[in-house]
């Protein structure tokens, strides 16, 4: 008795699957951090801080040029050897590494996470939250500011740098006066303190990265401290 063609195909597929190795399912990547109510307010304050307190080109302050803000968040990594050495600010406020043995040169992400921990007090919950919220790339929320800035996609920005560094960046964004990268804010357990990490640059030798700390006072967020991570 002849079997229909479709049954032969099914039997053949079953025989092949029996001898095949089980498929390995890759681990599921955690979902990006969801926005929190105060995120937009705190990030807008961070942008204001850049214009008011950070040394930036006059063309940005005057509005002649605009600030390009990367739409995707700055990824933070907690340094694996954080317990083997300590970091203290020198007389200029820049971070210095100290320890029995010299640590390996940390990445920008690691330096950023160390800057978050340059604070006084036992409650580090806002820094821990900032690290956790920025382990994976996410999108910044929409922001309102009187300052001249515009969001641009990370791939477009990185593509310009890969092709010709700052010369290509300014060719692609001729109206730009600099580039800003931001992390999502981190919050203390009581939601009364927050911190955010930012990096501003406008040339190969003009840039800085810092963490800023905020307290919730009288119904609004106010910057209380900053910790410089690097400067060029």
pLDDT at 81 over 70: no
- Give per-residue pLDDT as tens, 123-158: 678 888 888 899 888 999 988 888 889 999 999 999
Report the alpha-carbon distance of residue 31 to residue 16 in Å, rounded. Answer: 36
Extract the tokens encoding 175.
Answer: 């109206």
Is pLDDT above 70 for 14? no
E strand spans, the chain: 66-70, 85-89, 95-99, 149-152, 176-182, 186-187, 193-203, 206-217, 220-231
Distance CA 182, CA 196 (A): 7
Residues contacting 81, CB < 8 A, separation 6+: 103, 104
Give this prediction's pTM: 0.74
Nearest to 69 by CA among 148, 186, 136, 162: 148
The CA dihedral of 175, 65, 159, 113, to the nearest 10 degrees, is -170
**What are the pLDDT digits (tens) for 168-221?**
999 999 999 999 999 999 999 988 999 999 999 998 778 888 889 999 988 899
3-state helix, strand, coil in the chain (%, to 5): 30, 30, 40
β-pairing, 176-182 vs 193-203, is antiparallel
* Rounded Cα distance, 15 and 146, in Å: 67
d(CA 110, CA 131): 10
């Amino acid at each position: 008795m002849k079997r229909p063609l479709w049954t032969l195909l099914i039997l053949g597929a079953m025989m092949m699957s029996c001898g095949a190795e089980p498929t390995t399912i890759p681990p599921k990547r955690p979902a990006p951090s969801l926005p929190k109510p105060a995120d937009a307010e705190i990030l807008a304050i961070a942008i204001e801080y850049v214009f008011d307190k950070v040394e930036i080109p006059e063309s940005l302050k005057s509005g002649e040029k605009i600030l390009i803000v990367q739409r995707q968040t700055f990824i933070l990594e907690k340094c694996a050897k954080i317990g083997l050495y300590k970091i203290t600010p020198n007389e200029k406020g820049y971070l210095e590494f100290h320890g029995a043995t010299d640590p390996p040169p940390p990445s920008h992400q690691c330096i950023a996470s160390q800057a978050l921990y340059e604070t006084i007090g036992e409650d580090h919950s806002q820094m821990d939250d900032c690290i956790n919220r920025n382990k994976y790339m996410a999108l910044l929320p929409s922001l309102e500011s009187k300052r001249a800035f515009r969001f641009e996609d990370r791939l477009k920005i990185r593509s310009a740098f890969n092709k010709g560094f700052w010369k290509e960046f300014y060719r692609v964004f001729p109206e730009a006066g600099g580039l800003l990268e931001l992390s999502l804010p981190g919050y203390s357990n009581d939601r009364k303190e927050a911190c955010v990490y930012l990096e501003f640059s406008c040339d190969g030798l003009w840039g800085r990265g810092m963490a800023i700390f905020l307290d919730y006072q009288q119904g609004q967020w106010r910057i209380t401290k900053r910790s410089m991570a690097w400067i060029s």
